[in-house]
Amino acid sequence: MHDLTQCVHHPSVPHDGFASLSVATYRASTIVFDSAESYAERHQRGLTGYSYGLYGTPTSRTLEAQITRLHGGAGTALLPSGQAAITGIMLSILRPGDRVLIPSSVYPPVLAFCQNYLAELGIEHSVYDPLCGSGIEPLLDAKTKLVWVESPGSTSLEVQDLPAIAAAAHQAGALVGCDNTWASPLICKPLALGADFVVEALTKYAGGHSDLLLGSVTAADDASDTNLKAWLRTMGIGVSPDDCSLALRGIETMGVRLAHVGRIALDIARKLSHSPAVQRILHPALPHHPGHTVFMRDFKASSGLFSVELKPQVSPFLHQSLKRLRCFAIGASWGGTHSLLAPITLAARNGAATSSSQSYLRISIGLEDPDDLWDDLNTIFHQLERELQEPSVNTTIA
Ligand SMILES: *Cc1c(COP(=O)(O)O)cnc(C)c1O
């Protein structure tokens, strides 16, 4: 063959005797067939076979199988982000006239999705108190198709009684989906607690290095898994094998990373609880936290994310104090090796742990030396405490 043809057709080399501990990254749009007949019959390969790159490669299938196994589910679908996983599962099962219930502590872009997109499709949503437990029953009418749970909830970290909510929802004929991103499958297994679907933002602890975006939906039964996968094929939604490979690598170290950041985060949360600048520490492992009893029952350990509610008097000085950070970075997303701080303001929420429009500092613990992290926080909180003792004159607004 001529050079140009040889450039396109790779030489084959033996694979015999080669074995690696890592999963190969298979990149493909085209899948080739060994005959015209098998190409003509490619649709018979179904959802589990290989027929087109968009529908999966051995790399993405390995990640799907890994998450399915960790959650004890029937199957897993991968989507380009955690948010896409949530909107994907909702769009694939909700129809005009249906209603979805979401907790007030939900990841804020999910509420925006319900308000700005589901509503105009004729799909209603109602916001419920994350701590209601079986008290969700009066909200469940014949239209309610899905009850969404996120536990612990974003920023305020209320822990939901998933078994009680799932029992009431199933009684009323509704499905239950749970966003398990805070915990990962190593700390909580929502399918065993009654959920029909569990979503992970793999972007966080599975990725573990703040450099990829990926989401998963694991279904408890085959029919639900097949339904979502068929929907994804039709919508043309697939994921990159490179991202899957990074997530598979991340999952290998997720256990030791989580054990470490969980321990350090709880230690720092306890220490910060003594600061006079702190109104409240929002960490589910602390005894007074909303849902703590449920947390002790349903979760194996703590992860590395918690929030600090600041005293209203010090809130105006938070941004200024963060200029003194040396170790923590300021940013959203979390679960990586770098520790992050995110100043967050939450409006008053019905039934949630928050009391009023309040300033929070969300803290994600990473893998730096805990002494350096504590030095940073100590600097900030001492500065905030000084504002309590001798408030700056020009900012004391009547
Ligand atoms: C980050 C996050 C998401 C969204 O994940 P992305 O991959 O960033 O889209 C969803 N739910 C929770 C609880 C999250 O923290």
Ligand 1 site, residue 81, Cβ cutoff 6 A: yes
d(CA 366, CA 88): 30
Q: Please state the atom number of ligand 1 nearest to the C-alpha of residue 86.
A: 10
Within 8 A by CB and 6+ apart from 173, the residues are 142
Q: How confident is the model at residue 393 (pLDDT cuts 50, 70, 90)?
A: low
- For the stretch 235-285, pLDDT in tens is 999 999 999 999 999 999 999 999 999 999 999 999 999 999 999 999 999
Report pLDDT for 163: 98
- For the stretch 324-364, pLDDT in tens is 999 999 999 999 999 999 999 876 554 445 555 689 999 99
d(CA 89, CA 223): 13
Residue among 180, 204, 212, 214 to mutate when testing ligand 1 (max atoms within 8 A of CB):
204
Tokens of 332: 């959203």
Among the ranges given (36-45, 79-88, 158-167, 237-246), the one the predictor scored with the smallest mean pLDDT: 36-45
Mean pLDDT of 2-26: 96
- Asked if residue 28 has pLDDT above 60, the reply is yes
Ligand 1 site, residue 155, Cβ cutoff 6 A: no
**How many Å lie between the centroid of ligand 1 and the Cα of residue 202?**
8
Q: Residue whose CA is closest, atom 11 of ligand 1? A: 107
Within 8 A by CB and 6+ apart from 148, the residues are 86, 90, 100, 101, 102, 103, 106, 110, 176, 177, 178, 179
d(CA 84, CA 78): 9
Tokens of 394: 């020009």
- Asked if residue 10 has pLDDT above 70, the reply is yes
Left (φ > 0), alpha (ψ -120 to 50) or beta: where does 217 sit?
A: beta
Ligand 1 site, residue 149, Cβ cutoff 6 A: no
Residue among 89, 102, 107 to mutate when testing ligand 1 (max atoms within 8 A of CB):
107
Among the ranges given (42-46, 89-93, 94-98, 327-331), the one the predictor scored with the smallest mean pLDDT: 42-46
- Asked if residue 397 has pLDDT above 70, the reply is no
Report pLDDT for 116: 97
d(CA 304, CA 328): 14
Angle of helix 82-93 relative to helix 222-235, nearest 10 degrees, comes to 100
Q: 278-282 and 305-310 as β-strands: parallel, antiparallel, unpaired? A: antiparallel
On whether the CB atoms of residues 71 and 189 are closer than 8 A, the answer is yes
Q: Residue whose CA is closest, atom 4 of ligand 1? A: 82
HEC per residue, the chain? CCHHHHHHCCCCCCCCCCCCCCCCCCCCCCCCCCCHHHHHCHHHHCCCCCCCHHHCCHHHHHHHHHHHHHHCCCEEEEECCHHHHHHHHHHHHCCCCCEEEEECCCCHHHHHHHHHHHHHHCCEEEEECCCCHHHHHHHCCCCEEEEEEECCCCCCCCCCCHHHHHHHHHHCCCEEEEECCCCHHHHCCHHHHCCCEEEEECCCCCCCCCCCCCEEEEECCHHHHHHHHHHHHHHCCCCCHHHHHHHHHHHHHHHHHHHHHHHHHHHHHHHHCCCCCEEEEECCCCCCCCCHHHHHHHCCCCCCEEEEEECCCCHHHHHHHHHHCCCCEECCCCCCCCCEEEEEEECCCCCCCCCCCEEEEEEECCCCCHHHHHHHHHHHHHHHHHHHHCCCHHHCCC
**How many Å lie between the centroid of ligand 1 and the Cα of residue 15?**
39
Listed residue (260, 243, 238) closest to 366, CA to CA = 260
Residue among 81, 83, 217 to mutate when testing ligand 1 (max atoms within 8 A of CB):
83
Question: What separation in angstroms does the CA of 158 have from each of 62, 140, 189?
Answer: 33, 21, 17
**How many Å lie between the centroid of ligand 1 and the Cα of residue 118?**
19
Mean pLDDT of 87-103: 98
Among the ranges given (44-48, 110-114, 345-349), the one the predictor scored with the smallest mean pLDDT: 345-349
| Whether the model pTM is above 0.85 | yes
Q: Which amino acid is at 336?
A: G
On whether the CB atoms of residues 348 and 309 are closer than 8 A, the answer is no
Domains of the chain: 24-249 (3.40.640.10), 254-389 (3.90.1150.10)
Report pLDDT for 351: 44
Q: How confident is the model at residue 3 (pLDDT cuts 50, 70, 90)?
A: very high
Torsion sign (Cα): 158, 162, 168, 173: positive
Report pLDDT for 398: 43
Report pLDDT for 388: 87
Report pLDDT for 394: 53
**How many Å lie between the centroid of ligand 1 and the Cα of residue 181?**
7
- Asked if residue 109 has pLDDT above 70, the reply is yes
Ligand 1 site, residue 303, Cβ cutoff 6 A: no
Mean pLDDT of 222-237: 97
Mean pLDDT of 69-89: 98
Q: Please state the atom number of ligand 1 nearest to the C-alpha of residue 213.
A: 7
**How many Å lie between the centroid of ligand 1 and the Cα of residue 364?**
14
Report pLDDT for 391: 67
Mean pLDDT of the residues in the chain: 95
Ligand 1 site, residue 82, Cβ cutoff 6 A: yes
Q: Which amino acid is at 353?
A: A
On whether the CB atoms of residues 361 and 157 are closer than 8 A, the answer is no
CB atoms within 10 A of CB 125: 22
Q: Please state the atom number of ligand 1 nearest to the C-alpha of residue 204.
A: 1
Report pLDDT for 395: 53
